A and B are shown apart, each in its own frame.
Chain A
């Protein structure tokens, strides 16, 4: 039964062109499943050029995908530079989108879209799938009119154009950006079904720009008296955040215009943004217009009213930006279906705001026993690391988990440990070990263990 359902395998010819699952759907008269299927069958017939009769015949002799040459093997393809000169993903990839989580926010301008981690490979997030978090809507800002001002405790308050910033020697570095509220909805219990919604406020790019310290030095910064940096955006929210000085003087904080080989996308701060590696995404100010050097922190709205972590004693942790070591299995993950027993490569992502990931362990028995996963190179500081583990599924229900350790020796905590320290109301910085239940019917569910 299960084997028959696997596309691409030889199977007995059905009575007509409906497959088994289609026949089951059709039996449920009036269900949306039927409509889905009928549309599916229609589209397949259109796209595949394989007539129903031929499909049936094909099944008798072998795979019709082999026996019936498709149109793309028998015709002339598309010309160069189609799509207005900028390529797009295949239309068959339309399911792979960033998505809003229903009911999470009430206005689409102060909202989030989540990256489809379940469908991504390696460590780089395609720019068009990078998660979005806007506080007052996004803009497509004219780069010729954009300016960056550096003021405060500097000898010469200064203004830089994009032309000038792009004349400076550039660096390109891979870093993750994770929202401080990533996985927030699961603090108290399971709330959403898939890794897109649990962990999708996470993306990773190669960013190109100049170290912020270079611009501060050009303005004659007082690096002895200056203890904090304020970064400010040019959008309606004019987002402001206090930036840790140590990451500025170390050269890690970048003023970037490039992302994955092209300019930043408007949703990600075009034409200029800050990147504060290892710190929650809100600090990587988009549409960056101003840098101020000062001797005290600013308690801006998003470090005094939001992005503060409520502790069990009723106090809020303020200036809590660092993203501690965390990992998650992306395949198999919630909302997916394993089509059969047998071999799978469990794969996922690990990262730490304190540096490199040193090890990732994977459990396929709900945390009783763990095995060291393979870490795919390159392993970089404050960057996603891809890991994988070979696994033969015996068809029995089980829980799969990953647990990362970073180069400081910090081990990703369990939910029980995290809740003991912080309760369940802190919203931000949930880096607990995530668990996926693989059921006997192949469906994977988001679960928490206690």
Chain B
């Protein structure tokens, strides 16, 4: 038995050696020894397809150019529906433009950031590196069709934004050749600091933490503290908290659908229905699933206006007009609900029809 096993091991060893002599190839150049067979060299085309980042020193910036005027056309077609015609909209995202001055362009510090009473912080107030704008618009915009803008498109849109902020004139053409000059005019270019202890490592200096609490154990506070809390009218603003806590436990959730009681346990109502109630939710209708799938819900909600009108409003206005709605969904439009354009949508006609039928029938949910 023993010799038999030994024999098998020897045989297995011989087989391995034979395989090695046939299959073993030198590791690809530069690859560390060990972990053979894991990974392969990337082709130049593959690296080009994915390596799209642009650094503050403009490493990675592709050649190209775009005018403010071309940027304006692109903006109104592809960007204004979320960001507003002048980049000022606060409806979907924080405003992009506003709050910067000619003086800021000289100093490189946005003065409004030093005021505690200034209400907004726009992108142009914050950004210190123009590469960041270019990189992000290129990789992630437009919101529902990221990476669909060409390099020249991105130069144009960036130029338009910079013109809105008065960093470049209306007749400006932004390109890889002059972007460094634009960087030198960015309003908040001197507004960043790395003098803090929140970067793990020594690359930016080693500042000590900016708070230094002591672990005092007794008689730590002199006077009884003053308390601030949520106002009574906000009691139910986050929904009924009783339904956001487990049915059993050391504490239950407070029934915030009712005014607060005076007695211990007044609001400790037992709400045993959450489980049963949630199981009643049937599968979402196919139309609602499609609204999610095609990101319609980025701009529309069922009952309230977001960027576009509520589905309920559309259903009311265009009751029974499914064919009309299929066209509007696929081709987009402007003017029916105001000046914010709806971009054309790329979904298939069959999907558009399901959504249109649902809208035409009243947008039930």
Contacts and interface: CB of A to CB of B under 8 A. Distances in A.
Nearest to B127: A305
A92 to B, nearest CB: 5
A218 B40 CA distance: 10
Interface string B195-235: 11111111110000111111111111100111111100011
A57 to B, nearest CB: 20
B245 interface: yes
Given A94-B274, A298-B53, A154 B265 contact: no
A314 B109 contact: yes
B210 A421 contact: yes
A348 interface: no
Interface string B102-113: 000000011101
A218 B217 contact: no
B251 A43 contact: no
A123 to B, nearest CB: 18
Nearest to B57: A296
B238 to A, nearest CB: 5
Contacts of A304: 126-129, 132, 192
B215 A37 contact: no
A345 B251 CA distance: 11
Nearest to A413: B211
A58 interface: no
Interface string A42-55: 11101100000000
A173 interface: no
B140 A449 contact: no
A331 B250 contact: yes
B323 interface: no
A361 interface: yes
Given A92-B275, A421-B211, A311 B193 contact: yes
Contact of A321 (B47, B200, B215, B235): B200
A193 B264 contact: no
Contacts of B235: 193
A151 B252 contact: no
Given A5-B268, A7-B270, A36-B269, A189 B237 contact: no
Interface string B82-123: 000000000111000000000000000111011010000101
A182 interface: no
Interface stretch (B1-9, B24-32, B324-332, B336-344): B24-32
Interface string B235-250: 1011111011111011
Interface string A192-232: 11101100000000000000001101111000000110101
B139 interface: yes
Given A95-B247, A367-B225, A314 B110 contact: yes
Contacts of A395: 264
A116 interface: yes
Given A136-B140, A367-B225, A107 B298 contact: yes
A72 interface: no
Contacts of B62: none
B220 A292 contact: no
Nearest to B213: A411
Interface string A391-419: 00001000100010100001111100110
Nearest to B132: A304
A436 to B, nearest CB: 10
A450 B200 contact: no
Given A441-B264, A447-B227, A94 B278 contact: yes
Contacts of A292: 51, 53
Contacts of B253: 95, 335-337
Contacts of B182: none
A310 B213 contact: no
B277 interface: yes
Given A159-B40, A219-B30, A367-B220, A443 B260 contact: yes
B272 A99 contact: no
A335 B241 contact: yes
B123 A305 contact: yes
A312 B210 CA distance: 13
Nearest to B203: A227
A4 B180 CA distance: 75
A91 B93 CA distance: 37
B221 A368 contact: yes
A39 B273 contact: yes
B254 interface: yes
A233 B344 CA distance: 27
A258 interface: no
A269 interface: no
A319 B229 contact: no
A175 interface: no
A289 B210 contact: no
A344 B250 contact: yes
B255 interface: yes
Contacts of A335: 238, 241, 244-245, 253-254, 256
B247 A310 contact: no
A308 to B, nearest CB: 7
A320 interface: yes
A368 B211 CA distance: 20
Nearest to A338: B251
A296 B192 contact: no
Given A106-B92, A240-B53, A443-B260, A247 B201 contact: yes
A15 interface: no
Contact of A405 (B215, B221, B230): B215
A56 to B, nearest CB: 17
Contacts of B93: 106-107, 110
Nearest to A89: B275
B239 A320 contact: no
Interface in A271-321: 278-279, 289-290, 292, 294, 296-301, 304-305, 308-321
B213 A119 contact: no
Contact of B254 (A108, A164, A294, A336): A336
B93 to A, nearest CB: 7
Q: Which are the 9 A-B pairs with shortest beta-carbon distances?
A: A155-B30, A314-B114, A220-B30, A449-B225, A336-B251, A335-B241, A246-B201, A413-B211, A320-B198
26 contacts: A21-B270, A36-B240, A149-B46, A220-B30, A227-B203, A240-B139, A292-B51, A294-B55, A296-B59, A298-B55, A299-B129, A299-B132, A305-B132, A324-B198, A331-B251, A339-B251, A368-B219, A370-B217, A370-B220, A403-B213, A405-B215, A410-B209, A411-B213, A413-B211, A422-B210, A448-B227
Given A215-B39, A301-B135, A442-B265, 12 more contacts: A6-B265, A39-B273, A43-B272, A95-B247, A95-B253, A228-B203, A237-B146, A300-B136, A335-B256, A339-B252, A367-B220, A411-B215
